[in-house]
Amino acid sequence: PGLRSRWEIKAAGECTATALGTNTNASLVELLFESSDSNPLIRDINFPASGFTCESSDYINGIAEVEIIIGNQCFKRVHPEHMSVFDFTYWALDHTHPGNMVAMMDGESNPIKKWRDEDASAFLIFPSFPDAGSDVPPHPLERWITHGDKFPKLGRFGDMTLFVDLPNEMRTDEVAEYFGDTSGSSGSAVVTCGSPGEVANDPTLGKYFIAVHEKGTDWGLDQQKGDAFFNIALSAQDQLRQRVAFALSQILVVVDKAIGVEGDHTEAFVAYHDILVRNAFGNYRDILKQVSYNPLMAENLSFLQSKSTAHMWEHQQKHAFADENFAREIMQLFSTGLYMLNKDGSHKVDENGELINAYTNDEIMSFARLWTGFDYQQTRGNMEDNTWFGNRVDPMRIEASWRDKFPKTDMTGGYIGDGYPLCVDLPDKMWLRRGARYRLLGSKHTPETMEDHPSFKNDLTMKHFVLEAGSKLKEALCNADEVGNCQYAMTVTLESNLPCIGKECDADTARVVDAGGELYYEYISPACVEQAFYRNAKKVIFKDRMKDSSCANPLLPYASEACCSIADVVAYRNPDYIYDQERVMFSTAGSRCEAMGKQLCDFNYIDHDLDDHKKGYHWTSDSCKIQVKVDSVGQVALVYKPNSYNHLHPHIDPNNRNFFKVYWDGDYPRNEIDGPDGNNCGNEVCTALETGGCLCDTNVFESRVFSRMPTSVDEVLSKLTIGAYDTLAYDDGTYSASVTENDVTAYHKAGEEFTAETIFEVTDKNRRSFRFKNSMESVRVQGDSSLSFRNPSSFMSVLNTESTAGKAAYETDAALDHYLYHDNTAPFLALRMIQRMVTSNPSPRYVQAVADAFTSGQYMDIGSGIYGDMGAMTAAVILEPQARDETLDNDPFDGQFVEQVLQITRLSRGLEITPSDTVKLVYFDHLKDKVGQAPYEYDTVFSFFLPEYTPDGTTKIGQATLVAPEVVALDAPKTVELINGMFSMVKYGLSRCYGGFNSNWGSCTENDDFSNSYAHLTHEMAWDQPEAGEVHASAVVSELSLLLTAGRLSNTNFDIVKNAYLDKLPLAGHAAAHRMAVQLLLTTPEFHTTQTTIPSGLARPEPAEPVSSGVPYKAIVMVMLSGGADSFNMLVPHTCTGAKDMYQEYNDVRLDVALPKSDLIELNSVTNQVCEKFGVHPRYGNVASMFNSGDLSWFTNTGVLDKETNKYEYWKDTVTQLFAHNWMQQAAQKADPMKDAFGTGILGRIRDAATKQGRSVGAFSIDWSSAATSGKPGVNPSAVILNRNGVTKFNEKPSSDDMLITIKKLNEDVTAESGAFSDLWSDHLTTALATNERLYNTLSVKTVQTEFPNEHLSRQLEMVAKMIDSRGERGADADVFFSSKGGFDTHMNTLVNTDRLFGELDAAYGAFRQELEGKGIWDKVTLITVSDFARTLNPNGNAGVDHAWGGNYLIMGGSVKGGQIHGEYPDNLTDEGDRMLTRGRAIPTTGWEVVFRAAAEWFGCDSADLPEILPNMETFTREDYWIPASNVFNM
């Protein structure tokens, strides 16, 4: 019972009937004959749990090959996947099927594609044993068993499937065109609606963009969106709006590289940015909604086309989960942040002083289920190049069948549906009641927020709900003018209850109504929720008994009548039903049957005279049980159990895995096999399941909450969760007059006092009105009422046909409201906006004032008075005293660094940049590569700067534990490139001369000729000769100071610039002197920060050149795999002769993201792990070679550990914010979870310890600042940041010989009272210029022997190799290096993405080893990889994987004692494993401290320094926890 079997249909003459027992034969004959399966080639049947029997002898004999003859047909039992259709694209890739690469190298056809391309056959046969001598290898069935999970299942040969239900990767225009369908993403190219604010082109303006991009349709398109941004920023009159939008773009980030068309499309990106521009002074709720529905955001954070677990199982037979990416980031980055906040932005703490999480991973997984179902809209003709797949401009639509149907918990201990009325409580005939909404469809007669069968679109026989003459609803929809002509509105909301007329009185609900003349309106049901558990459930059958049985609430109009005569099993609809697809309540169905002289029945099928597409779910006379399946952590899944059925829908059958969180009142049933705290499934009141968990019967209890008036609004909000509808929508007299006390209004049922039907109305602190029903419902386990939980609510119906796009949209709105009104959102957003626009460290009072403006919607007289008003927030941001008070410019800790983009726009706008005569616009090219920032070009969702970034302890800001977000991008290469580029623009105009910001050559001679540049600065102040030179110079510098530093230039620096101007004036004229003054101002701390300076008159000391002590050299290289690498596909079980086959378990858990065993590169055997042999990813050839040759080892199941823990206590043992990119990257780099060595990183502390020994130790981070290299203040200079592409010479053509000396004077040392930010700039610039010159001279003569790939990490490691080679010139005894590679956040298409990423890693590692071996230094270098975290073992619905914890990391080098796997590889990869959390998130057994303790000892650090290097090491008291360095290295 419950098993599916497949039968091939043949002619009766082709078979011999198999001898079966009488009952077995009768059961199979009936199931096969009565089946509604319409496939002409094969038939699938599910053996029912009841009503059919088999002979025990047939079980014992184990008959496999069975042939049954029924009439002229034979049914032959075949393999369950016989004639299944799969997408074999993956198996045709170069590195998947073992024969593909061989065939390609031999010039032969791809061995997979050739079956279709050459043999014109779409069939592969398993098992297959070719004749002797054939070049085709045998394909036993085991080969399919091993690899079958890699191929998305499309359906069965001979089936018809909806295009929308194909896997994402198959829904292409080419597939649609081949099968004569439409992809749903391509329109008819008819111009319909434009984007908001879109206007037609004005040809009189000329060809603005073609001047640059006319070289070819593909040339320069990647720069076009940036061109649009800068030209608006430089010329638009709404500068504040544009500035706010730019700030918002750094909060609501779209990473351009995550978008499939980022290289050659513009409109989608500017349309996204327009959301922020359009709503800059609007409401943040609108921003959140429009961003969430934007296809770029969905592609960026990978919830585009995410599907529910139930849908993936039903359609692809995969146990995949919803993608968690957006669910996490919309909270962490767009609304609440990670930790609970007070209104002033300070952190809330618990009784132990610990930060309180705003949410947990449970909430992330819950919200991930909500963000399923989103897909592209159909494309339209008036868009940029709509031949590419997917409309990336218009808001997405919701595909209801993909949406998760089950309740979702929120962040505050409730459900997303809390506060909404129950659908069963809506007034009778809600579609005629006050508040009912109708949406104009025009001539289209099928709904848009609900779904009708596609056949109805062209069905001329469709029965419509035609409103009769005299209908008040028809009158309301007509909206006639004074002469009686209908003025049909796009939407109509009924303002009062309407009486029914004729058939209206017989309809329980409406879907689409004909308002006259075949003009249709769709009824939009109000937002309401269903309780997951309810009483008196009734069975419904979809079309016929063999298809699908389910349960439904008899009080809801969810099915049609099915009427039988007594003892008959053929059912009929009442011929007077009102319209096709009509739904009625159970009682109405019964009445309609009685009117026919029939009764509701448990039918087999509906009368065949009714077209199949006009059938749906039909009520039966049978009852249902709603059971609950409880897993090991108390999550539950719904199980429907009708009294009898043939087939249950998979999402509610006993085997379903659609678990969701509930709030138990106390204990819950726990199976003994699920863990140490089992209670025998509630002392046997529930059934213990063999697979784990408990199955329980349930009862639903409703009770009154208040028997008196509540004492406050808060009491109502804290105790009531079930919403209520407007009492005015009910019949007159249903509710008595209201009573108001304590700001609470009560509505009693007429003649009653406080009952469960009483409605309370309140207004919360954010001015939102709520109505609540005075009721609570609990679900109790039958047999033990102490095992109970609150009845969870959900917008989505469990019944497929009632789970609509409209309900999904309501659910989405409710979630957006939950984010918006969360107590954290106002202070979180306030802090982010202040940091982006005013100061890095706002006072608590400042944050609270801005948060208050957000929540009140008002600041001074600005704002709408509505919560979330961005205009009010912006006003507070820029008008609060901390933003306006000039005296605060002198506060050493108030201020910020100015972003590079803002510096360039300030220079360009302030000094009046003007395009040349040949172009109309200003073009900046490749700014991101030069200065580290450019519009639209984000590396990660965390924007360019980290809001919580604290500079190292050598700085005043770091010592004060303040943040300076922009400093994360402050490094010598970018600083040199930035100043060089600005100097070039001043001297030569916008060109590529000497590091300029344009890619076209100009006249690279400093003069007044800018004719060859694309634009130039036109600001000048002509010198009127009678005016004294000094007076003129003062006026010039004063105006430049105002334009470039807001007048903050110190007197000392003013005089330095003025004197330089005067020196230049007589030699080259006022234009050259002006250029000199501008250049000098561009180097000042007042230009680069928003602070003033107080110079001390002393020169700022430059970094001393290191001197070697002569000890043998050593280096540690950390490689951060940013984004969370899928490291369980780096190191994979291969040969395991123990209790179980670990590879098979790996394959079973990873499903379609598992690597085929035959593809793995085998490693040498090990003796200390669960398997004797492991394999590595097929692209890890160099890694495998180094492991097997003894130069590389692995640390398995490694990650951040605050202390040793387990799956039952990890949540209270772990301080680190798990599963969040930025926090776990910081944890890996710092190895200091308790912040005992605050502001330092693991490499910095190792460096400090080595420096104490008298060694000269360098620290370098490639391309980006790193927390890992920060050490204690005063021990070492700050780490140097290098560009992977080398060192650029600073100011190669200075405007004067002493210009560098002058720049240093402008950045001389300051007093203690001077600004900390400006001091940091000057210190950074002085160090950067000195270091830059030293490294330029050193590295310009260094070459490599190995050709490194032209790829990010390879270029970084090439720079590391050059630096190691220059150790002698640098006087270095040792070095620590930090490098990184991004892109590992593979929430989508994991196998494809990691195939590329791992290949690039392997090539980089191989080149690095080859280079260092060639230079004879390999044995002095150790490379260690780290990552934020690993990925979930179990995939999501996008063939991707989500954030996890412990992972596998390699350590390599000539001194590494290789060929080992340190730590403990998990011995159970399922969720039942002792080290596994949900979805295969491994709890580490080895912390980062173990790795870096061994590395520090190899580096030569003293054992006495280990507690300082590893501040948390004393937490790990188990002696065998640590791995001796001598086991890791050849010491």
pLDDT tens column, 1152-1209? 899 999 999 999 999 999 999 999 999 999 999 999 999 999 999 999 998 899 888 8
pLDDT at 167: 64
Report whether pLDDT(463) > 80: yes
Which of the two residues, 716 and 1282, has the higher pLDDT score? 716
pLDDT at 174: 67
Q: At what angle do helices 1181-1189 and 1390-1414 cross, to 10 degrees?
A: 50
Those residues with Cβ within 8 angstroms of residue 608's Cβ, 6 or more apart along the chain or in another chain = none
Phi-psi region of 1241 (alpha: psi -120 to 50; beta: other; left: phi over 0): beta
pLDDT at 130: 76
> Beta strands 374-375 and 84-86: pairing type?
unpaired
Q: How many whole angstroms separate alpha carbon 905 and alpha carbon 236?
A: 12
Phi, psi of 1502 (to 5 degrees): -75, 145
From residue 444, alpha-carbon distances to 462, 511, 513, 666 in Å are 13, 13, 11, 53
Cis peptide bond N-terminal to 127, omega within 30:
yes
What does the DSSP 8-state code read for residue 128?
B
Query: Out of 387-396, 657-666, 999-1008, which region has the weakest mean confidence (pLDDT)?
Result: 387-396
Which of the two residues, 218 and 584, has the higher pLDDT score? 584
Those residues with Cβ within 8 angstroms of residue 1517's Cβ, 6 or more apart along the chain or in another chain = none
Report whether pLDDT(388) > 60: no
Band (195; pLDDT cuts 50, 70, 90)? confident
pLDDT at 216: 40
pLDDT at 202: 67
Which of the two residues, 709 and 195, has the higher pLDDT score? 709
State pLDDT tens for residues 1454-1508.
999 999 999 999 999 998 898 999 899 999 999 999 999 999 999 999 999 999 9
Report whether pLDDT(385) > 80: no
pLDDT at 128: 79
Q: How many whole angstroms separate alpha carbon 1151 and alpha carbon 1436?
A: 10
Band (737; pLDDT cuts 50, 70, 90)? confident
Could you tell me if 554 and 538 are in contact, meaning their C-beta atoms sit under 8 angstroms apart?
Answer: yes
Reduced to 3 states, what is the DSSP secondary structure of residue 1069? coil
Q: Residue with structure tokens 């960026």?
A: 300
**Could you count the other beta carbons within 10 Å of the beta carbon of residue 864?**
15
State pLDDT tens for residues 1064-1099.
999 999 999 999 999 999 999 999 999 999 999 999
Q: Residue with structure tokens 């042999």?
A: 1173
Identify which of 80-84, 259-263, 597-601 has the greatest average pLDDT: 597-601
pLDDT at 129: 76
pLDDT at 389: 63
Taking residues 972-976, report their average pLDDT.
89
C-alpha neighbours within 13 Å on the C-beta side of residue 69 = 11
State pLDDT tens for residues 331-340.
999 999 999 9
Q: DSSP per residue over 898-950, as a string?
A: PPHHHHHHHHHHHTTEEE-TT-SS-----HHHHHS--TT--SSTT-SS-TT--
Taking residues 297-307, report their average pLDDT.
93
Taking residues 353-380, report their average pLDDT.
92
Which of the two residues, 1222 and 1132, has the higher pLDDT score? 1132
Cβ-based burial of 127 (10 A; exposed 0-12, middle 13-18, buried ≥19): exposed
Report whether pLDDT(261) > 90: no
Which of the two residues, 508 and 676, has the higher pLDDT score? 508
**Could you count the other beta carbons within 10 Å of the beta carbon of residue 1255?**
21
Report whether pLDDT(58) > 80: no
From residue 85, alpha-carbon distances to 36, 44, 154, 159 in Å are 20, 15, 5, 10
Taking residues 574-582, report their average pLDDT.
95
Mean pLDDT rounded to a whole number for the chain: 90
- For 474, the token pair is 């028809």
pLDDT at 56: 76
Rg of the chain (C-alpha set): 36
pLDDT at 1224: 87
Report whether pLDDT(50) > 70: no
pLDDT at 185: 46
Taking residues 779-784, report their average pLDDT.
96
State pLDDT tens for residues 219-255.
567 788 999 999 999 999 999 999 999 999 999 999 9
pLDDT at 57: 76
State pLDDT tens for residues 93-109.
766 676 676 666 666 77
Which of the two residues, 307 and 159, has the higher pLDDT score? 307
Those residues with Cβ within 8 angstroms of residue 21's Cβ, 6 or more apart along the chain or in another chain = 54, 55, 57, 58
Q: How many whole angstroms separate alpha carbon 978 and alpha carbon 997?
A: 9
pLDDT at 1243: 95
pLDDT at 21: 87
Could you tell me if 1176 and 1184 are in contact, meaning their C-beta atoms sit under 8 angstroms apart?
Answer: yes
Q: How many whole angstroms separate alpha carbon 348 and alpha carbon 368?
A: 26
Q: Which has the closest alpha carbon to 166: 370, 305, 325, 324?
A: 305
Q: How many whole angstroms separate alpha carbon 402 and alpha carbon 1372?
A: 59
Taking residues 260-277, report their average pLDDT.
88
State pLDDT tens for residues 118-165.
667 778 888 877 777 666 677 787 777 777 767 777 788 887 776 666
pLDDT at 203: 61
pLDDT at 257: 84
Band (972; pLDDT cuts 50, 70, 90)? confident
Q: How many whole angstroms separate alpha carbon 1436 and alpha carbon 1385?
A: 13
Q: How many whole angstroms separate alpha carbon 224 and alpha carbon 229?
A: 9
Report whether pLDDT(176) > 70: no
pLDDT at 1340: 86
Report whether pLDDT(799) > 80: yes
- For 426, the token pair is 């809506």
Band (215; pLDDT cuts 50, 70, 90)? very low
Q: DSSP per residue over 269-292, as a string?
A: HHHHHHHHHHTTTSBHHHHHHHHH
pLDDT at 188: 37
State pLDDT tens for residues 1101-1144.
988 888 888 899 999 999 999 999 999 999 999 999 888 899 99
